[in-house]
Structure 1
Amino acid sequence: MFDRFTQGAREAVVRAGFLALDAHRATLDADLLLLGVAEVRPFTLPSFTASGADLRPRLDLGDARSLLATLGIDLDEVRRRTRAGTDAPELWSLRRSRLRPLRVTLDGPLGRIPLAMHARKVIEVAMWKPGPVTGERLLWGLLADGANGAGRLLAEAGVDVAALVREAGIPVRRAA
């Protein structure tokens, strides 16, 4: 599935996978896809003002860092030394199960993590139109489903979501 992704969009999804594995989550959720997009920024949209630092406090990422710091262990340094090169997007793949077509997994050197329903919908929307899957298309997928909370998280981080939708060229359905 990654064959249609631009380098930046692929890096954002792989970053989200890293975050999910680090947080010991059972699935990759839409909130971590949003954080991956915010950290990688696979587009140049001035109205996307949220950074990873703005979104992190709003997400449950576990608390291993502070726990290990009390023991004098720098978790970031441990990860740098033990994971060197494992974040290269070309080492990761996004796959749909042939036997269970609703199951999509992100596979890489650090493990395999299935995409939760809302994250899978982000990818489906981003891939819906022909052509490359860009950062803007991932953003479209994140904002297309109001139930995944991405719009709320962006608004809480101070983003003008309506302006972002206009700037990114995300189609808006008008109610009849």
Structure 2
Amino acid sequence: MFERFTQAARRAVVLAQEDARERRQAQIRTENLLLGLYDAPATPESTAAELLRRAGVERADLAGEITRLPRAERTLDAEKLALLGIDLDEVRRQAEETFGPGALDRTRAGKQRRMFGHIPFDDASKKALELSLREALRLKHKEIGSEHVLLGLLHAEGGARELLAARGVTLDDMRTAVEELGRGEASG
């Protein structure tokens, strides 16, 4: 399927993986893909980024909110430790209060969590990418551009859709905006 992606759409996926790695996530999530859309170059930027800006959605605002979203793997760890009477958030707070911000990340265990190589997509991200193909086919576009990935993110479950919905961005509105681009092929 990736052979049908435009350069901007491919770059968005690569950037999503880098974002997931920087956040030390075990999987690429829809939020990572959303941020990747902003950073993927086309001429001069991805079509999706332009559509999002027109809708009043800025990357910096999303990045801040994504940091505050609960991560599934962190939630599971915290729940397991809570069964033992350990409050993971309190441990982290005390460690950072005593040793400075990011203290636990500087430990040997924290460094081992740093991931290299391929990071898999979570189920919602896989679904969003599949739906981006369907959106391109629906519009009779030969390639999958960043705008189709955006539509896939709005269609699939996940944090990206929730963040965009909170800003009033809907699948129907974005479909209309993509159709109004008036291009016979994917643009970026």
TM-score (norm 2): 0.57
Q: Percent identity?
A: 30
Which among 125, 143, 150 is matched to residue 132 of structure 1?
Answer: 143
Look up the match of 1:60: 67
Whether the 8 Å CA contact 1:122–1:141 is kept in 2: the answer is: yes
Structure 2: tracts of 5 or more residues without a match: 72-100, 107-115, 181-188
Select which of 125, 133, 141 maps to 2:152: 141
2:54 aligns with 47
Q: Secondary structure of the equivalent of 2:118?
A: strand
Q: Could you give the per-residue CA deviations for residues 52-106 of structure 1, whole angstroms, max 9, x where no partner exists?
A: 21101111389xxx648xx9xxxxxxxxxxxxxxxxxxxxxxxxxxxxxxxxxxx
1:110-133 C-alpha deviation (Å, 9 max, x unpaired)? 511110000000111112326211
1:1-56 C-alpha deviation (Å, 9 max, x unpaired): 32211111111111111000111111001111111113335204253432221101
Aligned residue number for residue 119 of structure 1: 125
1:83 aligns to what?
none
Greater helix share, 1 or 2? 2
Aligned partner of 1:77 in structure 2 is none
Q: Report the AA paired with residue 138 of structure 1.
A: V
Could you list the structure 1 runs, at least 4 aligned residues long, displaced by more than 4 angstroms after superposition: none
Distance in 2 between the 1:126 and 1:160 partners? 17
Q: Given that residues 118 and 148 in structure 1 are in contact (C-alpha distance below 8 angstroms), is that contact kept between their aligned partners in structure 2?
A: yes
TM-score under structure 1 length normalisation? 0.60
Equivalence for 2:96: none
Q: Distance in 1 between matches of 2:121 and 2:152?
A: 14
Alignment of 1:17-166 (within 5 A): 17-40=17-40, 41-43=45-47, 44-45=50-51, 47-60=54-67, 67=102, 110-128=116-134, 129=137, 131-145=142-156, 147-156=157-166, 158=167, 160-161=169-170, 163-166=173-176
Q: Which has the larger radius of gyration?
A: 2
- How far apart, CA to CA, are the structure 2 residues paired with 1:114 and 1:11? 16
Question: When you count strand as a share of all residues, which structure comes out higher?
Answer: 1
Specify the code of the residue in structure 2 equivalent to 1:51: E
